[in-house]
Amino acid sequence: MDAGRTVSAEEEVWTSREAARFLQISGQTLRKALKFQNLHPHKLGRRYVLLR
């Protein structure tokens, strides 16, 4: 029951970090963000757009 909430918070943090790393490694925010969002829309979401 509580795990659901914890997972949500952890997922958000992990997503933000992953996105930032992916953007730095790739270099292309818009293109990579769009492609990554299409690949993992449930994982990222709006965090990626904000990091854009």
- Looking at residue 24, its amino acid is Q
- Is the separation of the CB atoms in 52 and 24 below 8 Å? no
Taking only the tens place, the pLDDT of each residue in 12-47 is 555 677 777 766 665 555 565 666 555 554 555 555
Place 5 in a pLDDT band, splitting at 50, 70 and 90.
very low
- Termini Cα distance of the chain: 33
pTM for this structure? 0.23
Residue entry with tokens 């993992």: 40
Annotated domain spans of the chain: 2-51
Cα–Cα distance list, 19 to 2, 7, 8, 42 (Å): 26, 18, 16, 13
